[in-house]
Amino acid sequence: MLHLHRARQMLLVALLGTIALVAIEFPLRQLISQRVQISKTALALQIVESHNAILQHDIASLSKTSTIISIAHQEYGLVQPGQRSYVILPNAGAKQNMNPLSALAIPAEVLGSISGSTTSATAPHVVSRPVGSLWSRMLRRLEFWR
C-alpha cells in the first residue's frame, strides 16, 4: 500500500513538473524570440537613421551654390560665363566615379530588409505573430504528436 501511495505521489509530481515546464517554456521561448526581433529591428533602425543623417547633410549641401556649381561642372561639363572647360580623358582601364553623391547611397541589403524582402543572409527579417491559440501552437510544437 505504501509503494502504491508513493508511486502516485511521484506520478503527480512528475505530471505537475511537466505541466509547469510546458506552461513556462512556450511564453519564455516567445519572449526570447521577440527580444531578438527587437534587437535586429533596432539595429536596422540605427542603420537607416545614420543614412537619413547623411542624406540630410546632402540636402543641406545641395542648397549651397558652390555644391551646385561643382555638380554641374562634374556631371554635365557646365562652366560659369567667361570660363573655359577642358576635358581630360582618363586611362582606358581606370574607373572614375562621376556622381559625387553615389558614395553615400544606402546599401541594397538595408533597403531590402525594410521593404520586407530579405536580399542577404545578414539582413534582419520580420517574423509574423503566431497564429492560433496557445494549445494549438503547443500541439504544433510537439513533434511526437504528428
* Per-residue model confidence as pLDDT tens digits over 91-106: 776 665 555 555 555 5
* DSSP 3-state of 83: coil
- Residue 51's pLDDT is what? 94
pTM for this one? Answer: 0.41
Q: Whole-angstrom Cα distance, residue 24 to residue 124?
A: 27
Cα 54-55-61 angle, rounded to 5 deg: 95
When the pLDDT of each residue in the chain is averaged and rounded to a whole number, the result is: 76
Arithmetic mean of pLDDT, 23-40: 87
- In this predicted structure, the answer to whether residue 140 has a pLDDT above a threshold of 50 is yes
pLDDT: is 21 or 52 the higher one?
52
**R_g of the chain, CA atoms, integer Å:** 31
Q: Whole-angstrom Cα distance, residue 110 to residue 93?
A: 31
Q: Is 127 exposed, middle or buried (0-12, 13-18, 19+ CB in 10 A)?
A: exposed
